[in-house]
Structure 1
Amino acid sequence: MKPASIYDQVPLKRGRPSQLQLRLLSLAGGADDEPLAAHIYATSLDESDLPIFEALSYVWGPTNAPGKITLVPGDDAGNAIEAARHASTLEVTANLASALKHLRYPDRARVLWVDAICIDQSNLVERNTHVQKMGEVYEAASRVLIWLGPEADDSTLVIKALSSLSSKVMCNHALNSMQMIDQNMDRSLAHPLVPVPFSENESRGLNKLLRRPWFGRLWVIQEAIKGSSRAVLVCGHSSMLWSSFTNALFCILKKDLEDEIEECDWIGDFLEPFLDIHNTGAWPSMDNFMRNTRMMSCTDHRDRIYAVAPLAGVPLNKLKITPDYSLPVSEVYKNFMLKWIDFSQTLGLMGVFEINAAGPSWIPGYNSSPQCDFWTHSEACCGIAADVKYLGSNKLRVAGVQFATVEGVKPLLMAECEADCILSCVRNITPRGIQSKTYPTGCRASLALAATLVCALDPMDEPDEDTDPDDRYDIEDDDFMKLFYVSGQGRSLATTKEGYYVLAPKDTQPGDAVCTLLGLENHIVLRPVGRREYRVIGQCFVHGLNFGESLLGDFPTDWSRGKVHIEEGGESYWTVDFVNRKTGKARGKDPRFDGIRHSEIFCGNE
């Protein structure tokens, strides 16, 4: 694939662990049809005189029909580059060759950092070192160039349309809002129900653009986030700011117009980390980040750890993890889970993804599909820190309680998001005589079932116990059906001997234990496999027990958790607090923890 001599001629010095040596590419100017040529030289990332360079974010693509680039050691980008005595020829993928030909200037050199060329891919030590510092490389770049590929499927038209939309409407992901940039313009475009003024060709081209391979590659998340304020999206000879691109896409998604982006749910997941960081400055939690990137591809499963962990605001060195591509994938995942649990004092990643059938069930599967789109966060453990010990032999001891045993299981079968299909599923899983039954928490069983199907746990939305379920949850309402369709994908409805309804993993069986574990926000289904030994099946939702009731019991007399109306500083809003019905006063601290110091039991690092 490449001659080792070029990397021998441009070696990377071994300096302090914090000091990264890297190679840069001085890409010679040329016309589109001229051969690729460049100088390659080494420099230090923390040097005050670090050359101005741009970092390329792209997909390697197929290795067949490769292109070629002539490399000359040294930073002299002279005109006689092709005649240099020490020149070497390096094969690169067709997509990279296309990117370099599009990006090079016609008459002068352009300094780039390109991983496939600047890192000796055959040198495992060098690869490991660069993975730790990859984010720093993209942060140090003057710009990040996001290469989507050559012009095709009206991509030039699409880039122009997205640029125009972003120049008119400003979106705020944190506030879930849109507003016109120029208040003198027609404000209807910022209304959620007003369609985006795209032509048929623009809409069709947008769908094609969003299905280009770049959007499915795991590493691009880090590359785009680290350089988001300076990133430029390039497609063929058209370009636009990455921030403008994400702004335009959020505008389209906010309008919820299915005709604009077909099957666009994954686009929302893809954009979420970018939008969160851009609008709030906050990094997503580790479990949210891994969920949002679950469908993205990588050639090496170890990259799901090495690429994602730093983006959740937790550098690998903070977790005491050193990238090592010589370790088996299973060992990398196990080591990460143990380090993450110790650091965060949580079990949030346990049971989120499909189980690794060949290994410990408490480790996420690395070569299987996501378990489901069940991403509701309750407060089942009340923020109490995990009590965990690794016993060796792939066994993990955790603390928690079993509060229910599965008695019956019905799969949620919905082939498509159509009313007839969804309503048929609801009828098939609804127990007979439910209208006359009472749920263990005291509310009507029919209300509890409806709340379970849509994972309703927010006290801001929670109905009163005497609310007629037909008034609170209309199963024929479009919003209810859509939410149930999303919540129910890949899951089953389980009933327990104790009378609870459980939105459970599809593999749940009678006899499984429904538990609350310290350090885990959601409840979890475990399968007994021996005396006090269990196998993780997956996280679940149990209506009525989402605020620590299974651990701490009910709230003290006169106390409840509910909506509180606040008026301060000229603002009026609703929030959720613990309310003393006798005094009418509200507070943020759970009365069940009175007399206990926060640091004694609560999670502290995530």
Structure 2
Amino acid sequence: MPSASPYPNQFKMESPVDKPRYQYRDLDWTAKEIRVVELLPGTFQERIRIKFHHVALAPRRPSAIRLPPSRDEIQKTLPADWIVRVCLDGRFIFERIKEYEPEEPYETSWLHPVTGVDPNVSFDDNKLEYEGLSYVWAPEGSEEDALVLEPTAPSTGAASSSLSIRPNLAAALRHLRYRDIPRRMWIDALCINQTDLEERNNQVHIMCDIYRRASHVVVWLGPEMEDSKMAMAALRHLGEQAVYTERGAWRTNPPGCSNPELARASVPLPYDEQTWRSITSLLQRSWFERLWVWQEVRLADERSFMLCGPDSISLSLFRRAIFCASDKKFLPSNEVRGLILDAVEVMLPFSNQPFFRELQTLNWKGCANPRDKIYGALGAAPAAIRERITPDYSLPVETVYSQFCKAYIECLERLDFLDRCNIDAREIKGPTWVPDWSVPVDRAVRLPYADIFYAAGASAAEVSFRSDSDGTDVQVMEASGVHCGTVSFVGQKSPPASDGLLAAVKTWEAEALSTERYAPTNERSIDAFVTLLGLGYMIERWPQCNSLLTVPEAADLYGREFIDTKGDAVSHESLNFIRVRHRYFIKTDTGYMGTSHARPEIGDKLVVLLGCPSPLLVRPDPASTSEKQQYRVVGATYTHGLMDTEALLGPLPEGWRVRMARESGFFDSMHFFSVTEDKTTKEDPRLGEDPPEWERLEAVRTGNDPWNFARYRSRETRDVINSDPRLMPDALRSRGIRVGYYSLV
């Protein structure tokens, strides 16, 4: 039975050596130099011996890259009954098109069905001869000394110095070390002089290049323990049964798999309790909670693999296994599903999904330095943002965060980041419109993705900055928006877990159901209330999600099981549609009801700012004067009746409703469904004709776009914008909308 300790006593801990500490030689930054560690051969028990070499990351040469043909080129060579699909790892797979029986496996092939040629042959001579290691630093303590040899010394020669290594890295190196030949790797803790702040800044800035140029990436999950061998075997087998293609929108089985039925979502996984326990333990390892691994994994190529003790699995197979498990309708518990979904977020390939969604996911991860909440996400950022931010670990945390917010506005013209603000969860100084990303967000109370909300539609933010009156560096952000009401009632906060949730929601009922109809949307108050409790996750809005309830079903369930319930003795079914954990209930003088993670106060203003996907609560700043009213950002809300651009455009016409439609396998976008005509369109029926001075372009999403975007070109200047000109402030004012300015401090 493996030891329960995080670092099993598989080898005798070496005593400290009587050698001077290794002194790093300076890197030549003009040559884009990095250090590579050479792990010298040895047995598992022998002391770790290493050398350091300087390697220049020469500019990438496009001529050194040979790519396979495009999907469209290959499709032209296929018979009519075959289709070629692109897997998540970039490989092509061929599938015969025909009517399959419900349990019949798909006929697939990695080889061209006519020529028998594998089209997946490519090479990249820009790769360098080192492996990138992805691992967790782990806490300090029980460090051991590695011997450092001079670069030109023979492998069996005497060491000239030593270097301390933390236990998790030492365990990794012992498992990775060959017995007979050296191994070259890039390892951040060793290859960056951690005491040299300027060097750290430089190396973090080129981190993407370091992992992209590695021959492949090795993921170290930790030593063998808690039946990890069983978990690795189960996931390896599952990954061999399913392939995901078309950016996650299509699932098929690879050729020659032994259990193709496991690729189907309706087929449960055949795991006993012990196997599920082993998989749960594996997914709870700290590697999955680390921020930097996201970038390291997404830059890894198809030869990369994961190592847990002596057991390995290719990164591709692990990704396929996790995706397959996440699709299953039946899993042993919500905890397991949550761990699997967290792993899916880590394993998603680079895609065109909005950067802020990537940032939001990454900010749920852990890192030692709070500045890395931004610096660790730059690998996913649009180039324009990366160019504006140079890592500098000497800057105060609030300055790093403020610089990012300004760069985000300049590049994307959106205020999505305001959804992360919470006036009660701040440890940094500075303006309240700058979120404190250093404060961790618990899984149970994470905000829904801001990108599923459309309070401001595809409008661009209209902002300006100025220094506060006292002349300090604190900036005031002037933002355009619409006033939607003043908070007149605040309900008690719901708990972060299921216990006590129903009792808390019960206390909101009197205010929520005080009238038969909900005035802002002219629907039954009970329907509005249950939609609020579900944060809009109802099947009318998400028709592809069969597990969701319809609004009438949720209202009926509330009436049958919930409204008459004393305490929390309610079926598990009731808890599934209620998503308002750790939230306050609010009501405004204009009749709106909503919820917020941040603590509201009576008198807070409810506003929709242009470019911000959620309605915000802002609070008059005590230092304001009658001549200069300023506000502090309290936090984002889910406000029923304001989530679909109603503040700017009014309600949808009779017979229309919002539907979320699949844009790819990873995310959905806002569409409009006409009940009377039974048709779906991306065009908002509330918007009129395009302005004559603007030319509409095809809105093909790129990684540089915000979630809610459009594409227009000025006929006069030829400038292209990522927003809808019909939602510009002057256009809104011409519709009678009172667009004001809010000074946020």
TM-score over 0.5 for the alignment? yes
- 2:139 is paired with a residue whose SS is coil
Q: Are 1:6 and 1:73, in contact at CA under 8 Å, matched by a contact in 2? A: no
CA distance in 1, matches of 2:188, 2:677: 65
1:326, CA displacement in angstroms?
0.9
1:537 aligns with 2:647: no
Contiguous gaps of at least 5 residues in structure 2 = 1-15, 60-124, 468-473, 544-549, 562-570, 662-668, 695-711, 725-745
Q: Are 2:593 and 2:640, in contact at CA under 8 Å, matched by a contact in 1? A: yes
1:394 aligns with 2:475: yes
Q: Residue 372 and residue 457 in structure 1: after superposition, are their counterparts in 2 closer, same or farther (change >3 A)? A: closer
Paired position in structure 2 for 1:78: 154
1:132, CA displacement in angstroms?
0.7
1:373 aligns with 2:438: no
Alignment counterpart, residue 301 of structure 1, candidates 353, 364, 370: 370
1:241, CA displacement in angstroms?
0.8
1:494, CA displacement in angstroms?
1.1
Alignment counterpart, residue 32 of structure 2, candidates 20, 29, 32: 20
- 2:373 is paired with a residue whose SS is helix
Q: Are 1:578 and 1:591, in contact at CA under 8 Å, matched by a contact in 2? A: no
Paired position in structure 1 for 2:586: 494
- 2:38 is paired with a residue whose SS is strand
Percent of residue pairs bearing the same amino acid type:
28
Q: Residue 517 and residue 299 in structure 1: after superposition, are their counterparts in 2 closer, same or farther (change >3 A)? A: same
Paired position in structure 2 for 1:470: 552
Alignment counterpart, residue 139 of structure 2, candidates 62, 68, 73: 62
Write the mapping of 1:332-481 to structure 2, written as runs, cut at 5 A: 332-355=400-423, 356=426, 358-370=429-441, 372-376=446-450, 377-392=452-467, 393-414=474-495, 416-417=497-498, 422-431=501-510, 434=514, 436-456=516-536, 461=541, 470-471=552-553, 473-476=555-558, 481=574
Q: Are 1:564 and 1:576, in contact at CA under 8 Å, matched by a contact in 2? A: yes
Render the CA deviation track for 1:121-147: whole Å, top value 9, x for unaligned.
111111111101101111111111111
1:603, CA displacement in angstroms?
6.2
Alignment counterpart, residue 393 of structure 2, candidates 287, 301, 325: 325
- 1:324 is paired with a residue whose SS is coil
Q: Are 1:53 and 1:113, in contact at CA under 8 Å, matched by a contact in 2? A: yes
Q: Residue 473 and residue 189 in structure 1: after superposition, are their counterparts in 2 closer, same or farther (change >3 A)? A: farther
1:521 aligns with 2:613: yes
Q: Residue 34 and residue 246 in structure 1: after superposition, are their counterparts in 2 closer, same or farther (change >3 A)? A: same
Deviates more, 1:124-133 or 1:361-370: 361-370
- 1:288 is paired with a residue whose SS is helix
1:260, CA displacement in angstroms?
6.6
Q: Are 1:55 and 1:112, in contact at CA under 8 Å, matched by a contact in 2? A: yes
CA distance in 2, matches of 1:260, 1:63: 34
AA aligned opposite 2:43:
A
Render the CA deviation track for 1:399-445: whole Å, top value 9, x for unaligned.
10111111112135246437xx5544443322365572342222222
1:554, CA displacement in angstroms?
4.3
Render the CA deviation track for 1:255-294: whole Å, top value 9, x for unaligned.
254427835425413422532x3xxx52442332232223
Alignment counterpart, residue 298 of structure 2, candidates 213, 225, 229: 225
Deviates more, 1:295-304 or 1:523-532: 523-532
Render the CA deviation track for 1:298-336: whole Å, top value 9, x for unaligned.
111001110013224447533x11100111111111111
Q: Are 1:346 and 1:603, in contact at CA under 8 Å, matched by a contact in 2? A: no
CA distance in 2, matches of 1:493, 1:589: 30
1:505, CA displacement in angstroms?
2.7
Q: Name the count of aligned residue pairs.
A: 578
1:7 aligns with 2:24: yes
Q: Residue 518 and residue 483 in structure 1: after superposition, are their counterparts in 2 closer, same or farther (change >3 A)? A: farther
1:242, CA displacement in angstroms?
1.5
Render the CA deviation track for 1:218-256: whole Å, top value 9, x for unaligned.
111111111153321001111001221122122222225
1:173, CA displacement in angstroms?
8.8
Write the mapping of 1:250-269 to structure 2, written as runs, cut at 5 A: 250-259=323-332, 262-269=335-342
AA aligned opposite 1:326:
S
Q: Are 2:238 and 2:321, in contact at CA under 8 Å, matched by a contact in 1? A: yes
- 2:374 is paired with a residue whose SS is helix
- The higher-RCO structure (CA 8 Å, 6+ apart) is 2
- 2:416 is paired with a residue whose SS is coil
Alignment counterpart, residue 292 of structure 1, candidates 339, 352, 361: 361
CA distance in 2, matches of 1:59, 1:528: 44
Q: Are 2:212 and 2:299, in contact at CA under 8 Å, matched by a contact in 1? A: yes
CA distance in 2, matches of 1:53, 1:196: 38
AA aligned opposite 2:507:
N
Q: TM-score, normalised by structure 2?
A: 0.70
Q: Residue 562 and residue 315 in structure 1: after superposition, are their counterparts in 2 closer, same or farther (change >3 A)? A: closer
AA aligned opposite 2:408:
W
Paired position in structure 2 for 1:569: none
AA aligned opposite 1:535:
R
- 1:97 is paired with a residue whose SS is helix
Q: Are 2:614 and 2:638, in contact at CA under 8 Å, matched by a contact in 1? A: yes
Q: Are 2:481 and 2:610, in contact at CA under 8 Å, matched by a contact in 1? A: yes
CA distance in 1, matches of 2:394, 2:553: 59
Q: Residue 230 and residue 523 in structure 1: after superposition, are their counterparts in 2 closer, same or farther (change >3 A)? A: farther
Paired position in structure 1 for 2:42: 30
Q: Residue 309 and residue 51 in structure 1: after superposition, are their counterparts in 2 closer, same or farther (change >3 A)? A: closer
Paired position in structure 1 for 2:201: 128
Write the mapping of 1:90-129 to structure 2, written as runs, cut at 5 A: 90-129=163-202
- 2:461 is paired with a residue whose SS is coil
Q: Residue 605 and residue 152 in structure 1: after superposition, are their counterparts in 2 closer, same or farther (change >3 A)? A: farther
AA aligned opposite 1:604:
N
AA aligned opposite 2:687:
R
Q: Residue 90 and residue 309 in structure 1: after superposition, are their counterparts in 2 closer, same or farther (change >3 A)? A: same
AA aligned opposite 2:509:
T
Q: Residue 165 and residue 509 in structure 1: after superposition, are their counterparts in 2 closer, same or farther (change >3 A)? A: same
Write the mapping of 1:194-213 to structure 2, written as runs, cut at 5 A: 194-213=267-286
CA distance in 1, matches of 2:682, 2:417: 30
CA distance in 2, matches of 1:284, 1:584: 26
Q: Are 1:24 and 1:113, in contact at CA under 8 Å, matched by a contact in 2? A: yes
CA distance in 1, matches of 2:720, 2:577: 33
Q: Residue 444 and residue 331 in structure 1: after superposition, are their counterparts in 2 closer, same or farther (change >3 A)? A: same
Calculate the aligned-residue CA RMSD, in Å.
Answer: 3.6
Deviates more, 1:595-604 or 1:299-308: 595-604
- 1:488 is paired with a residue whose SS is coil
Paired position in structure 1 for 2:233: 160
Q: Residue 605 and residue 160 in structure 1: after superposition, are their counterparts in 2 closer, same or farther (change >3 A)? A: farther
CA distance in 1, matches of 2:189, 2:389: 24
Q: TM-score, normalised by structure 1?
A: 0.85
